[in-house]
Structure 1
């Protein structure tokens, strides 16, 4: 921790203000708050949470980098898949958690070139700060199509189009669960410890205990996460999608791998100024908190909602299937100064040592064709 960059005075003051808010909530709750509630406040408390405050999140000046920030080739390749599906729907693209807005700009640009612009591009985001950044970026990078873009703070009641979510599931508050010495499932929460916060465990309620008991190995002290929020999100998409497609891209594993006995400390991690932080209670409001995705639970939620499970595979395989090489070939390779960085970024997207293997793509459909280009080879549904 001592080697991490220190926040400036304004950021430190904002974190202390958020700590006071969370501390008051802990007191009001009797001295203990479920970790999922702590995580929700740390990320989304109005004006103070990580995604609700004004610090830079993405890129070199932020805390982490996403695929769209690396290269427009990511959005251009995804656009090829969307262009295949959009004409079969009502013509709207819905993007959840649009980050800086770069993916939206890249998608609109490539879809225009493909002759398949959406009638509407709806961004659903909870962060007023990020929405401001998205609006500014799109006004600068995609002014021609800005009239097609709108913003919403909640899920539309009716979805008819293509739904995309890049690194959305991992940012949803998760429950921390622990296998107790007697085999029972405990729910990890947050308490005050002087001026700081600390973990404390309580017995899990019946619903959470049943869910976790089916996943956690019978190893006392085993710690991991479950995400009712992920399942609820996909279930709601299924309930509201009248026709179209859902494409979710995130890092994670199928259940058997997620809850492997050797992964005994779970996957919860913090991202602060391009450093990974093991302590999720570090600098509340200034650090991103994420956990990996249990793609088996996501698939189960989609199927239970009546959606067709189109496929599940690595990001590398999806991008290769969808035409990443063709997108790279469109660039002028004789201009080494521009081509080389894009080729390097494309390699990072597909390399097993970088993003290619850890990131997965899962897709659902309703009322559209089931043979999608992005899933023609390398499907792993059998592992879910």
Structure 2
């Protein structure tokens, strides 16, 4: 992977590549990219955990929400998950759907957009479901399926998309690029010339402080535009970590959020362990929501994950039992639910955004729908 990056730099016009190009190679190169390689990435023996991996209660609660939407004839039973990883979320949702809505499960279609052939194979080996239809990219989905009516779900997809990096030095804005110093990868600074970066700053009225580093999520903006094309009528559920623009102004975030994760340890230098670690950034919630509106995706709700799970009735999944065995199935299921609601749990770090298109689905209506028996 290092050789591939260095070759790309040497072959470039000015012997440098942008951070977005660097991330795209490091994460998605067909042969050596982190997400593409045949190795475990999610879970105890991987590099990071997702909510779905930590607790099956998350997928169960989402399945109940999806079923409510379908049984009240808002949408057909069609789900499109983007970046499904090891398939744990899809497995739980389909299993729970079978239990709570046997009358609709036969009509359930589950599209999976997963770029990694390794993860696709994991899913095929584990899920054993003829309801899953696979695609490698959103573009492939659009070419074969086109716009559809249904539910789009993603968990930590946006945070893994490449970003541009800028920094303000001596009153001027610079793009941070990657070049070679001898045989070593280093950062270099050039004045901002990318008009898309300037448009992003102007559109959202962003002012970068002296010494501040900031990621510009141009790929996220493109992804939202594609979601707007994909969804004819439906809801888009996004689970991810990030900040509002106001939160980005906090001094603690002056150096941006681009980091690596390897064996569950944070690696501050994104130029280390190339192809061997995850690269991630905190997403911009405000531009995700505002760009969504421009693409017809109206905001339904935006909540911290704990609040959202309480809103959709996670506690209703708790089961009464008299067993004193802490390892009984019911005891373990109840602990799984509580683990998502505890202070200091993974739910402190994630938010859930639901957007809707061509539906009457304000948050108050969503709450009434969930409460309806």
Q: TM-score when scaled to structure 1? A: 0.86
**Distance change in 2, residues 1:331/1:26 (3 Å):** farther
User: Which has the higher mean CA deviation after the structures are superposed, 52-61 or 77-86?
Assistant: 77-86
| Aligned-pair CA distance for 1:269 | 1.4
* Contact 2:196 2:218 (8 Å CA) reproduced: no
Match of 2:160 among 171, 176, 189: 171
Match of 1:160 among 136, 149, 155: 149
2:23 equivalent to 1:26: no
**Distance change in 2, residues 1:202/1:345 (3 Å):** farther
Match of 1:150 among 130, 133, 142: 133
Match for residue 310 of structure 1? 300
2:96 equivalent to 1:113: no
3-state SS, counterpart of residue 36 of structure 2: coil
Superposition map of 1:316-355 within 5 A: 316-329=306-319, 334-338=324-328, 339=330, 341-355=332-346
Quote the Cα distance in structure 1 between the aligned partners of 2:331 and 2:259.
32
| Aligned-pair CA distance for 1:346 | 3.1
Match for residue 186 of structure 1? 174
Match of 1:88 among 59, 67, 74: 74
Match of 1:58 among 36, 42, 50: 42
Match for residue 4 of structure 1? none
Match of 1:274 among 256, 261, 264: 264
* Contact 1:185 1:212 (8 Å CA) reproduced: no
Quote the Cα distance in structure 1 between the aligned partners of 2:218 and 2:228.
15
* Contact 2:260 2:266 (8 Å CA) reproduced: yes
Question: 5+ unaligned residues in a row in structure 1: which ranges?
Answer: 1-17, 140-145, 378-384
3-state SS, counterpart of residue 347 of structure 2: coil
Match for residue 200 of structure 1? 188
| Aligned-pair CA distance for 1:84 | 1.8
Quote the Cα distance in structure 2 between the aligned partners of 1:330 and 1:308.
39
Quote the Cα distance in structure 1 between the aligned partners of 2:317 and 2:35.
32
**Distance change in 2, residues 1:66/1:199 (3 Å):** same
* Contact 2:319 2:334 (8 Å CA) reproduced: no
Match for residue 209 of structure 1? 198
| Aligned-pair CA distance for 1:252 | 1.1
| Aligned-pair CA distance for 1:154 | 2.1
Match for residue 243 of structure 2? 253
**Distance change in 2, residues 1:352/1:266 (3 Å):** farther
Quote the Cα distance in structure 2 between the aligned partners of 1:374 and 1:189.
47
| Aligned-pair CA distance for 1:281 | 0.8
* Contact 2:238 2:353 (8 Å CA) reproduced: yes
What do residues 79-137 of structure 1 show as CA deviations (whole Å, max 9, x unaligned)? 11111223422321000000110100000011111214253100001111111111111
**Distance change in 2, residues 1:181/1:160 (3 Å):** same
| Aligned-pair CA distance for 1:189 | 1.0
Match for residue 371 of structure 2? none
| Aligned-pair CA distance for 1:210 | 3.6
3-state SS, counterpart of residue 147 of structure 1: coil
Q: TM-score when scaled to structure 2? A: 0.89
**How many residue pairs align between the two structures?**
353
Quote the Cα distance in structure 2 between the aligned partners of 1:239 and 1:231.
13
Quote the Cα distance in structure 1 between the aligned partners of 2:242 and 2:122.
28
